[in-house]
Amino acid sequence: MKSPMFTAWALLLLSFLCTCGPAQNSQAVKQSGDQMVEAKLPNILFILTDDQGIGDLSLHGNDSIRTPNMDRLLTESARFSRFYVSPVCAPTRASFLSGKYAPRTGAVYVTRRRETMDDGIMTIPEYLRHAGYRTGLFGKWHNGSTSPYRPEDQGFDEFLGFTLGHFNDYFNGELENERNELVPFSGDLTQILTDTAAAFMLEDSEDPFFAMLTYQAPHTPVQVADKYWDAVKSRGLTDYNTGIYAMIESVDDRIGQLLDRLERGSKLDNTIVIFSTDNGPNGDRYRMGLKGTKGQVDEGGVRVPFGIRFPGEHPANGNDFQYPAAHIDLVPTLLDIVDLPVPENLDGRSLLPLLNLDWGAGTSPGDPADSMLRSFFFRDIFVFKQGFHFKPYPGSMRSGPYLYVLRGEEEHELYALRRDTAQENNLYDNQLPRDVNDPEWEAADLMRSISNDMRERYAAFTATVARPDLVAPPIDLDAANGPVRLLAHEGEPLGETRFMGEYGWANDWFVYLGLQGAGWPIVTRKTRTYDVTVRYHLDADTDNGVVFLPNTGRKVKLTLKPALSEEIPVADRTKRKEVYPRRWAEATLSGFEIKEGNTSLRIVPLKPHPGLWIKSVTLKRANLK
């Protein structure tokens, strides 16, 4: 039975369908007795945590963590217990935002601009703007740090957060906003993002909102206030796990605060709240027996919590849906909910038919509800793990109760997930009896057939999403609204030049700037002059410098005086893998010309010196204030 409240809500949507037009966000609905009732499209709050695995919830049987607010939110939501994302951050975010598998969006990896999502991709906030929504992103972006790839270029009216793969200090630093300005902050990042999101949502506005609150926690570095650390430290965990759980509990606490504030501000009763995480756990810890962690295509790397809680008495709330679903489904589901057309070129599908089904009525074989359910259960859901260059492996595909894994070029695996959630028994065809007289032959033959089908479907689909020639886009100097920051880790080290950390993760810098120097691919359609600021470190007795090799053919020298950068003290609970934040020396020059073209901005050292490090080169148009 549908509740009266739900019926009214459905009526409103139906009415919207009949009268819809762009930017229309409310409509009068005629009810019995000629009473006109003003009804609004629902607000949408999407909360996404970073590196929180499926086991990092007390709801999921983890006795070492307390997550009452996340548990409650998920329990009250339509939950999908087989919900899949990508193995790492940026591809998952691109899929949540676009409804497409990450390779199609360009956001295939996590650093060196391989996380950049194509600017032509339509995102949830871009779609929702057409229905009159105001849109805000608070926290991590990780789909491009320069225009036209930044949050404000991809549909967000407001933004406070960071565009790189991680922010390297939870308590101090410079956040970015929608004007591409650096905003100094000190305090607790988790609290600041919560407060900023709350202020945005509580604004006195007639327009519905779409707020995306993308916490960095519990991504490393392991930093958390004493209050949360102290609560976890007596549970007998390693320092790392103590810190990770404390960070999750700090988010849990803030989610509780946030929902309370929305309730007090009379916003919650018209707000859809969605909760999920972006990949498996960032460490080997409790994960409901699933195989794999962040970065892996197995269940533990990509199966995450997901819940969507409708306002009021929606019949889907409180149900646990066993049907496989994925990040790619969020866009079509939300478009369906607000009655915007769902584009045909999406990989995801709307979950609304499942959510709106009258489960009490039951289904019979052959009726429309039954075939709908079968189509949801037996759909193929793909997971790709891509590095700098495309390979179809490792990857995996779920279909019905089966999981196919392409581990290596010719390494195939098949698991029956219903009885083997831990992926311990590989059923792929070459593991099975081939003698027709073997009593196991019939079962083996079925597995062989499923193996072959899934292998072929995986290969065929992968060929349609693969972009083997994809390169990170050049940095567009024309699209910038303000200075363009050429960060070391977004450039290319040449020759002997290398990064402080091996891979050039977010926030890294060039050390040992060798003879070949380093370069950034850039594009501009207009010849301009710039003021250039270099952030550097020079541990030497005498002056050195960098020489710019712009496409004008005129070398430009910038003298760098000896100056040591300083490591900024941080409150890490455990030693980090990533680089530590530093305070850098700066040197500037004016009147630096770059001609129009698709080119590279190269810098080389005046004299190669192991003590010369480069953090960034900032280009500011000379005529900009």
Joined together, the tokens standing for residue 429 give 């065809």
Of 9, 50, 326, 604, the residue at the interface with Ca ion (CB under 5 A) is 50
Contacts of residue 610, defined as CB under 8 A and 6 or more positions apart, other chains included, come to 511, 512
Smallest gap, in angstroms, from Cβ of residue 311 to Ca ion? 29
| Contact between 169 and Ca ion per CB under 5 A | no
| Contact between 89 and Ca ion per CB under 5 A | yes
| Contact between 278 and Ca ion per CB under 5 A | yes
> Quick one: 110 or 346, whose CB is closer to Ca ion?
110
**How far apart, in whole angstroms, are the C-alpha atoms of residue 399 and residue 95?**
19
List C-alpha distances in Å: 525 to 116, 119, 462, 490, 493.
Answer: 21, 17, 36, 21, 25
> Quick one: 278 or 508, whose CB is closer to Ca ion?
278
Of 51, 195, 336, 490, the residue at the interface with Ca ion (CB under 5 A) is 51
**How far apart, in whole angstroms, are the C-alpha atoms of residue 548 and residue 33?**
76
| Contact between 279 and Ca ion per CB under 5 A | yes
Smallest gap, in angstroms, from Cβ of residue 120 to Ca ion? 25
> Quick one: 51 or 176, whose CB is closer to Ca ion?
51
> Quick one: 276 or 399, whose CB is closer to Ca ion?
276
| Contact between 41 and Ca ion per CB under 5 A | no
Smallest gap, in angstroms, from Cβ of residue 327 to Ca ion? 12
> Quick one: 279 or 616, whose CB is closer to Ca ion?
279
Residues 611, 478: contact at Cβ < 8 Å? no
**How far apart, in whole angstroms, are the C-alpha atoms of residue 178 and residue 159?**
5
Smallest gap, in angstroms, from Cβ of residue 280 to Ca ion? 9
Contact range with Ca ion by CB under 5 A, out of 199-207, 221-229, 273-281, 526-534: 273-281
> In one letter, which amino acid is 446?
L
- Contacting Ca ion within 321-360 (CB under 5 A): none
Count of beta carbons in the 10 Å neighbourhood of residue 389: 12
Radius of gyration of the chain (CA): 26
**How far apart, in whole angstroms, are the C-alpha atoms of residue 450 and residue 402?**
9
Contacts of residue 607, defined as CB under 8 A and 6 or more positions apart, other chains included, come to 544
> Quick one: 507 or 533, whose CB is closer to Ca ion?
507
Contact range with Ca ion by CB under 5 A, out of 16-24, 50-58, 66-74, 543-551: 50-58
Q: For 23, left (φ over 0), alpha (ψ -120 to 50), or beta?
A: left
Smallest gap, in angstroms, from Cβ of residue 105 to Ca ion? 16
Length of the chain: 625
Contact range with Ca ion by CB under 5 A, out of 88-96, 199-207, 302-310, 312-320: 88-96
| Contact between 163 and Ca ion per CB under 5 A | no
Contact range with Ca ion by CB under 5 A, out of 13-21, 44-52, 124-132, 523-531: 44-52
**How far apart, in whole angstroms, are the C-alpha atoms of residue 352 and residue 374?**
15
Contact range with Ca ion by CB under 5 A, out of 87-95, 182-190, 532-540, 609-617: 87-95
Joined together, the tokens standing for residue 584 give 């850098």
Contact range with Ca ion by CB under 5 A, out of 85-93, 107-115, 157-165, 481-489: 85-93
Count of beta carbons in the 10 Å neighbourhood of residue 573: 18
List C-alpha distances in Å: 476 to 21, 94, 149, 522.
Answer: 35, 20, 10, 6
| Contact between 207 and Ca ion per CB under 5 A | no
Contact range with Ca ion by CB under 5 A, out of 152-160, 270-278, 341-349, 555-563: 270-278
Smallest gap, in angstroms, from Cβ of residue 183 to Ca ion? 23
Enumerate the β-bridge partners of residue 210.
Answer: 44, 135
| Contact between 56 and Ca ion per CB under 5 A | no
Q: Which helix (H) or strand (E) holds 80?
A: strand 78-80
| Contact between 90 and Ca ion per CB under 5 A | no
Enumerate the β-bridge partners of residue 27.
Answer: 39
Give me the residues that bind Ca ion (CB under 5 A), please: 50-51, 89, 278-279
